[in-house]
A and B are shown apart, each in its own frame.
Chain A
Amino acid sequence: MQEKTFTIVANEPIARDTFRMVLAGDTSGITRPGQFVNVAIDGLFLRRPISVSDSGPGTCPKGVPGAGLPMDFLTLIYKVVGKGTAAMAEMESDTELNILTGLGNGFDASRAGDRPLLVGGGVGVPPLYKLAKELTAAGKRVSAVLGFNTAQEAFYEKEFRTLGCDVTVATADGSYGVRGFVTDALPETYSYFYACGPLPMLRALSETAASDGELSFAERMGCGFGACMGCTMMTKNGPKRICKDGPVFRKEETVWED
């Protein structure tokens, strides 16, 4: 974990209620895809945990101070679901944010095998983007199944395709792509899966997936770095903190209670 100051360079809607914020700052604390950051927001007490969609070296975009210069960037894709994310959506470029970076364990890309499958539901899609980048760069044949409620909420189909992923989109209302849930659109064969999304989706996947895999969990958090036990869930290996021991857990670790 590192505490760093980031500067917003872009913050724009990419789908209904869904925004992409690009920030400049020191991302050296982020070591694996699937990690998250915890963002301090003026006027709110608790930080807001947001998954890292992308990070690393890049070039400062046009139209902002330092355009064209090399910079470390951090991309956060978030959905407005409450006061914190609503406040983030109002933030303007050049705003400075205090962010705890490099939180959580992240995905283990070394387990992917030859044909990994990425399964994202809604705002569970973003952390899979950085993973897709790594896996495609490593020459893997990556399938991505992205699920949304409706066409207006869909995002990043093109971005995953540009990386070279074989992309299928599912919408619950059938307004775009396959009608139904991500579990209705899974490919027949895959070597390993990585998933992030709502609990019912994670449960369905862990109970029906044909391979081993990893699931990333989201939860209301106090600290985000393992101190408060505010986000502990039960696993086969005992109680685990989603923020510190997770957010990514192996399929065989997960316990589903009725």
Chain B
Amino acid sequence: MGRLNVDLCGIELANPVIPASGTFGYGYEFAELYDINCLGTFSFKGTTKEPRPGNPLPRIAEAPSGMLNAVGLQNPGVEAVLREELPKLKNVFHKPVMANVSGFSADDYAYTVSRLDEEPQIGWFEINVSCPNVHGGGMSFGTDPKAAADVTRRVKAVTKKPVIMKLSPNVTDIAEIAKACEDAGADAVSLINTLLAMRISLRTGRPILANTTGGLSGPAVFPVAVRMVYQVAKAVTIPVVGIGGIDSAEAVIEMMMAGASAVEVGAANLVDPFASKRIIEDLPAAMDNYGIRELKDIIGGAL
């Protein structure tokens, strides 16, 4: 047992650092740069029942201390993920991996999870009910407690693996949604997905993103994420995975003090491809600075 070990729904992680879905592909771009087995785990690219080409371009815009994206859940669909991506992933990553799943109906979510459930390397399902960049799905399930609970129940019915519900910050009371997921049987919740945002080009007078709006991520959202993780950790007894603007070992510690059992690193991977590795390597010294012997001792310390 190392100082960095944490437990996530009964599966031991060597450290709490998990690259977030949509910022790490299926791992192999990063495996060209470093041995990604140093990670706690990672959440692979959001997978849907059918292939999705994603949104028109541009999909990316700069923001103060962050970025907007409107990728729109581009992925090859669950069958291609099973057939092509996961066998390649297995070559470069040898730990349980987190499968991120999206859908446009409760049936979609259940179908995709049931197809992926047969894959032994999948340790957890992260159910994205919070994508702000698709219409008629995604976030609409994560902004209504009843809909979020319904998706949770449907997914839980088709897998015995831990189910982590990924929540949207674009709500009045995120703790209420988290509670609804917990009551419906969720094993954990992860938050926050991106904040709905928009930029306008001064040259054209038009929105920069072809989708008009996109999701804001990066250090800009970190304090919002800390606040929401804190509120949710107070409201539920299941583990909380903290996501949002984490780019340093200190940010990991802060997020865990707010109540996170593990953390996801998102946008930081895109601007510094070594970010997740560096954060893991920086953790012991940062813990020493604050007199922290074992990371798991600080989870929810600020509650």
Contacts and interface: CB of A to CB of B under 8 A. Distances in A.
Interface of A: 1, 3, 40, 44-47, 83-84, 100, 219-223, 225-234, 238-239, 244
Given A44-B62, A45-B65, A1 B273 contact: yes
Interface string B114-129: 0000000000000000
B23 A45 contact: no
Contact of B270 (A84, A227, A232, A238): A227
B54 interface: yes
B140 to A, nearest CB: 22
B92 interface: no
A83 B63 CA distance: 11
Q: Which among B29, B59, B62, B270 has the highest number of chain A CB atoms within 10 Å?
A: B270
27 contacts: A1-B32, A3-B33, A40-B271, A44-B62, A45-B65, A45-B66, A45-B67, A45-B219, A219-B58, A221-B60, A222-B67, A222-B69, A223-B269, A226-B25, A226-B29, A227-B24, A227-B25, A227-B30, A227-B270, A227-B273, A228-B60, A229-B22, A230-B71, A231-B57, A232-B54, A232-B57, A234-B53
A225 B273 contact: yes
A239 B45 CA distance: 15
Q: DSSP class of B's interface residues: helix, strand, loop or mixed?
A: loop
Given A45-B63, A219-B57, A230 B273 contact: no
Nearest to A83: B62
B57 A228 contact: no
Contact of A220 (B25, B32, B58, B218): B58
B260 interface: no
A229 B63 contact: no
What are the 4 A-B residue pairs with the smallest beta carbon separation, nearest first?
A: A223-B270, A230-B60, A220-B58, A229-B74
Given A222-B69, A226-B25, A232-B53, 4 more contacts: A221-B60, A228-B71, A229-B45, A230-B71
Majority DSSP secondary structure for residues of A touching B: loop
Contacts of B22: 228-229
A228 B45 CA distance: 9
Contact of A3 (B25, B208, B273): B273
Contacts of A222: 59-60, 67, 69, 270
B271 A47 contact: yes
Given A223-B270, A227-B270, A46 B62 contact: yes
Given A1-B273, A45-B271, A239-B54, A231 B29 contact: no
Contacts of B53: 232, 234, 238-239
Interface in B37-76: 45, 53-54, 57-67, 69, 71, 74
Given A45-B66, A47-B271, A229 B29 contact: no
Given A46-B67, A220-B59, A222-B67, A239 B74 contact: yes
B57 A227 contact: no
Contacts of B66: 45
Contacts of B32: 1
Contacts of B24: 227
A231 B61 CA distance: 11
A83 B267 CA distance: 20
A212 B64 CA distance: 43
A219 B71 CA distance: 13
Contact of B60 (A1, A40, A220, A244): A220
Interface centre among A40, A220, A238 (most CB of B within 10 A): A220
A226 B273 CA distance: 11
Nearest to B71: A229
Given A220-B60, A231-B57, A1 B71 contact: no
Contacts of A84: 62
Contacts of B23: 223, 227-228
Contacts of A226: 25, 29
Contacts of A83: 62
A225 B30 CA distance: 9
